[in-house]
Amino acid sequence: MATYLKQIVLIFAVLTASLTFINCSQTSPEITDVNHCLIFEYKDEVSKPDVRLSVFVDSNSNVNRYDRIKINCLQNKYIWDTKDLILIKETDNEAVGYNNFVLPAGQSFINGNYEVILFNADQKETKLGFNVQIDPSFYNYSAKQIRNEISKLSVIKQISIYNKQKQLIYYGENTDFNNSRDIWVRFNDAAYYYDMWLTKNKNLMIILPQTKVEPN
């Protein structure tokens, strides 16, 4: 997957909105690679995180042809199935997926093998496998605790910034912003932001609680 397309996939992993498309293809989907990311999102400093799985696949086919995506956990037979696809196009590269696969409260994504299955409107399918590996203790950490644990991993510090209309105005590696004022100086319409960590293999993202942007 091209670098810029990978960045777009990560943006959609952060966001929880999705775009739905209807198609009428008669050919089987063609997918070449799977990009998955477990997202641990904290609402406050003391609560355990909300966790969701984002899965996107690279496609050699026109992504408008896809109708449905299904994820199977081969360890416990859990199945996620949705038609709320997110379709991404960038020059000659295309990707399709969904960013909000979740489990019932109190349950965790188990380590092991999963498979993603894509369907077109005629329900012709293709599948690829991927493997999830995460320290199970992460599910029990508060935001304060995860700050200490994440330093043990190889991670990239990132940030997402939003305006008062809750629109994303910046997402990327945080090399410039040391505090709230630094953000306000560059984006004077910024209202709040999230500090984040992304592992270098891009399979784990930590999103810390929302912080208000203030000029002082």
| b/e sequence 126-150, b meaning 16+ C-beta within 10 Å | beeebebebeeebbebebeebeeeb
The reported pTM is 0.84
**CATH 3.40.50.261 assigned to 3-43+50-132:** no
Q: What is the pLDDT of residue 32?
A: 75
Report whether pLDDT(4) > 70: no
- pLDDT averaged over every residue in the chain: 84
Per-residue confidence (pLDDT) for residue 152, from 0 to 100 = 83
Calculate what percentage of the chain has a pLDDT beyond 90.
58
Q: Identify the top-confidence range among 12-16, 43-47, 93-97.
A: 43-47
Distance of CA 199 to the CA centre of its chain: 12
Where are the chain's structural domains? 3-43+50-132, 140-212
Does the pLDDT of residue 17 top 50, yes or no? Answer: no
Q: Please give the average per-residue pLDDT across 4-14, as a whole number.
A: 55
Give me the residues paired with residue 136 across strands.
none
Please choose, from the candidates 11, 54, 62, the residue with its C-alpha nearest in 3D space to the C-alpha of residue 34. Answer: 54
In order, the DSSP letters of 13-71 are: HH------------S---EEEEEEEEEEE-SSSSSPPEEEEEEEEEESS-GGGEEEEEE
**pLDDT of 20:** 37
To which H or E segment does residue 84 belong?
none
Q: Could you tell me if 42 and 209 are in contact, meaning their C-beta atoms sit under 8 angstroms apart?
A: yes
Q: Is the pLDDT of residue 139 over 60?
A: yes
CA 197, 199, 202, 204 torsion: positive or negative?
negative
Q: Which amino acid is at 184?
A: W
What mean pLDDT comes out for the span 18-38?
A: 61
Give the pLDDT confidence score for residue 123 in this predicted structure.
Answer: 79
| Amino acid letter, 118 | L
Output 192 or 11, whichever has higher pLDDT. Answer: 192
Amino acid, res. 60: N
- Neighbour count for residue 33 (Cβ, 10 Å): 12
Quick check: 24 pLDDT over 80? no
Query: Does residue 25 surpass a pLDDT of 80?
Result: no
* Rounded mean pLDDT, 67-87: 91
